[in-house]
């Protein structure tokens, strides 16, 4: 995973992030969170433990919270928008099932908020080509995509700055790989404020506390690796996926992520969903082997997800409610974006 630029930048961002956590607890109302996801599929346990839990906690502290379903970001590295509407609606269902409350959190889609997207024009004038090309996350994403570098992939961190700044977001919960984008956002805000008028805050990345849950094969959990447990999967699908995950030939179960990635990933999954430690679970299973471990994991995951899945089913039965949530979020986001765009125009003297 790419680090946030050089390690000095990483350390200073880590320090800002730590200080921020204390301040949020003291005065949550001073903060506006913006974060989001690309609607490329269903949310899985990696999203859940990696960020969703934390978003819900921040929401419930009383921070002003906003989530973008980043539909324009889907086409940074793929050629199709097939299933995008279905994915976006299911993303809303996943959020609500996990405890995001649409009364507290504004949920919206990029493409429905023209004034947000218009910020891209002034913002692009504030970054140089070499700054764009230097972004380590963009580089690794381009390599992974196997495509030529498109203009949108190159500039999507600027678009992400539009997401964050249109609502004057000052905190962005992110994984380490997103830190270069936050740095670019801070630079854009600073340069705009210096060149025209102080309109934008300089947001800080809130490094997530959460553990990274590995995929069932020990690699990063990702739908494209086939190693991800979706929140929306049935109990049977979950059991099947766990059953066919690769372990090794050693019978005795031990926690050893470097040498036994498969077994250890299963143990971490069991630990996170049962509230016990990996070592403790490994000791309990011991010589009973990987079959017993898989049965344990299946029960633990399905038990943990049961209430979320139940809420999911209820929400699925009321799609018009889900559409209302998105319409309301989009309406609100348009108001917010229009207000900010007016300030931007005024700062730039473009009032006619």
Site of interaction with ligand TRP (CB under 6 A): 34-38, 68, 70, 73, 160, 163-164, 172, 174
Nearest residue to ligand TRP on Cβ basis: 70
How far apart are alpha carbons 124 and 122 in whole angstroms? 6
Minimum Å distance from CB 16 to ligand TRP?
16
User: 68 or 265, CB closer to ligand TRP?
Assistant: 68
Minimum Å distance from CB 76 to ligand TRP?
9
Cβ-Cβ contacts under 8 Å for 338 (sequence gap 6 or more): 115
Minimum Å distance from CB 89 to ligand TRP?
18
Helix (H, G, I), strand (E, B) or coil at 213: coil
User: 91 or 164, CB closer to ligand TRP?
Assistant: 164
Minimum Å distance from CB 35 to ligand TRP?
4
Map 85-107 to HEC letters: HHHHHHHHHHHHHHCCCCCCEEE
Q: In what order do the strands lie in the sheet with 204-207?
A: 105-109, 64-69, 32-37, 171-174, 204-207
User: 178 or 238, CB closer to ligand TRP?
Assistant: 178
Minimum Å distance from CB 185 to ligand TRP?
8
Minimum Å distance from CB 317 to ligand TRP?
28
∠ CA 28-61-273, nearest 5°, is: 140
How far apart are alpha carbons 310 and 8 in whole angstroms? 45
Minimum Å distance from CB 44 to ligand TRP?
13
User: 68 or 228, CB closer to ligand TRP?
Assistant: 68
User: 177 or 235, CB closer to ligand TRP?
Assistant: 177
Minimum Å distance from CB 320 to ligand TRP?
27
The answer to whether the beta carbons of residues 64 and 29 sit under 8 Å apart is yes
User: 70 or 119, CB closer to ligand TRP?
Assistant: 70
What is the phi-psi region of residue 231: left when phi exceeds 0, alpha when psi lies from -120 to 50, beta otherwise? alpha
Q: How far, in Å, are 55, 115, 146, 209, 225 from residue 341 at the CA level?
A: 27, 6, 36, 34, 40
What's phi and psi for 283, nearest 5 deg? -65, -40
User: 83 or 243, CB closer to ligand TRP?
Assistant: 83
User: 180 or 261, CB closer to ligand TRP?
Assistant: 180
247 exposed, middle or buried (CB, 10 Å; 0-12, 13-18, 19+)? buried
Segment holding 204, helix H or strand E: strand 204-207
What's phi and psi for 69, nearest 5 deg? -90, 105
């Amino acid at each position: 995973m790419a680090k946030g630029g050089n390690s000095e930048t990483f350390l200073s961002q880590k320090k800002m992030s730590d200080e921020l956590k204390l301040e949020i607890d003291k005065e949550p109302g001073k903060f506006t969170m913006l974060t989001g996801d690309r609607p490329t599929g269903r949310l899985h346990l990696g999203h859940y433990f990696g960020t969703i839990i934390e978003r819900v906690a921040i929401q419930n502290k009383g921070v002003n919270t906003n989530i973008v379903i980043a539909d324009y970001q889907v086409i940074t590295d793929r050629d199709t928008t097939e299933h995008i509407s279905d994915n976006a609606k299911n993303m809303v269902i996943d959020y609500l099932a996990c405890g995001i409350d649409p009364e507290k959190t504004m949920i919206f889609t990029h493409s429905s908020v023209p004034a947000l997207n218009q910020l891209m024009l002034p913002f692009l004038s504030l970054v140089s080509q070499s700054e764009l090309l230097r972004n380590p996350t963009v580089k690794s994403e381009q390599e992974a995509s196997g495509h030529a570098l498109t203009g949108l992939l190159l500039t999507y961190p600027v678009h992400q700055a539009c997401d964050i700044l249109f609502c004057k977001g000052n905190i962005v919960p992110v994984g380490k790989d997103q830190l270069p984008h936050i740095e670019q956002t801070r630079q854009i805000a600073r340069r705009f404020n210096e060149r025209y008028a102080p309109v934008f805050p300089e947001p800080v990345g809130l490094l997530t506390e959460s553990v990274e849950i590995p995929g069932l094969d020990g690699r990063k959990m990702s739908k494209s690796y086939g190693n991800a447990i979706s929140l929306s999967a049935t109990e049977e699908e979950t059991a099947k996926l766990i059953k066919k995950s690769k372990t090794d030939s050693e019978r005795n179960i031990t926690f050893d992520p470097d040498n036994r990635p498969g077994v250890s990933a299963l143990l971490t999954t069991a630990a996170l969903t049962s509230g016990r430690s990996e070592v403790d679970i490994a000791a309990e299973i011991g010589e009973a082997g990987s079959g017993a471990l898989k049965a344990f994991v299946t029960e633990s995951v399905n038990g943990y997800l049961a209430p979320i899945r139940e809420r999911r089913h209820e929400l699925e039965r009321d799609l018009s409610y889900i559409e209302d949530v998105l319409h309301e979020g989009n309406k609100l986001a348009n108001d917010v974006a229009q207000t900010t765009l007016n300030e931007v125009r005024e700062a730039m003297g473009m009032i006619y």
